[in-house]
Amino acid sequence: MDVKEFIDSLNNLDPENIGGWPLPIKALMWAVVLIASGFAVYYFLLADSLIMLDKEQQKEQELMSSYESKAHKAANLDRLKQQMVDMETSFGALLRQLPSDTEVPGLLEDISHTGLSAGLEFTSINLGAETAREFYVELPIEIKVKGGYHSFGAFVSGVSALPRIVTLHNFAIATGESPNNLEMTITARTYRYNDQE
């Protein structure tokens, strides 16, 4: 059957007698009906379900990740509990290094003793205003001393060896009356646990 005959057969089709149509036309109509019904089933019935399936598959991946994370934590629970005990012990040891309000005079005495042992002469020691931080309170101590350069080094080394936490900041060294008699201004900061937190 050539194209002209095919077109003529289409024009002569009787919609009342579909059974009498030529076989190629019937096959073409069946293909069109199948494609149209397949598209309608997909669009009206399956499209929303497929979108929901994709969402559920993503949710499944998230839940699997969460499950793996929790399973890993559960498998390491004993080790994590031991780490927590170790951290609490370490934290308690660090808290004991922070002086309380009543220990500040003793700390000042230790700093003075360290400076005198290093051969320094104290010009002044002044307590600054406390500054509250999240877990601790910071107390600055302004120190002015006179002495030699090596005495300054021995003093700084001695302060760092004190049993309490003391940090040194804002070093300023100036020449004094003679080259062997220097003046140093330094800020020592000590810390205590913030009981208010």
**pLDDT tens per residue across span 102-133:** 577 888 888 889 889 988 888 888 888 888 87
- Pair (52, 135) in one structural domain: no
CB proximity list for 21: less than 8 A, separation 6 or greater = 13, 14, 29
Domain identity same for 114 and 44: no
User: Can you read off the two tokens belonging to residue 182?
Assistant: 């220097």
Identify the domain containing residue 143 by its residue range: 99-193
- Residue 126: its H or E element: strand 121-127
In a domain, 80, yes or no: no
For residues 69 and 120, membership in a common domain is answered with: no
| Residues 40 and 108 reside in one and the same domain | no
For residue 93, is it within any domain? no
Q: Are 149 and 109 in contact (CB under 8 A)?
A: no
Residues 118, 67, single domain; the answer is: no
Answer for the pair 124, 91: CB distance below 8 angstroms, yes or no.
no
Spatial separation of the C-alpha atoms in residues 6 and 28, rounded to whole Å: 12
Q: What mean pLDDT do residues 172-192 have?
A: 83
10 Å Cβ neighbour count for 182? Answer: 19
Mean pLDDT value of segment 133-138: 79
Last residue in a domain, options 75, 91, 113: 75
35-39, 68-72, 120-124, 163-167, range with the lowest pLDDT: 163-167
- Per the DSSP assignment, residues forming a β-bridge with 189 are 140, 167
The mean pLDDT of 134-139, rounded to a whole number, is: 80
Q: Are residues 67 and 105 located together in one domain of the fold?
A: no
Based on the fold, state whether residues 125 and 184 are members of the same structural domain.
yes
Q: How much of the chain, in percent, has pLDDT values that exceed 90?
A: 16
What CATH number did the domain enclosing 180 receive? Answer: 3.30.70.60
Tokens 């002209």 appear where?
4
Q: Do 56 and 15 share a structural domain?
A: yes
pLDDT at 4 over 70: yes
Do 115 and 180 fall within a single domain?
yes
Same domain, 110 and 187: yes
81, two tokens = 């509990």
Given a cut of 80, whether residue 92 has pLDDT beyond it is no
Determine the average pLDDT of the residues in 166-184.
83
Structurally, the chain folds into a number of domains equal to: 2
Residues 108 and 162 in one domain: yes
Q: Do 106 and 176 fall into the same domain?
A: yes
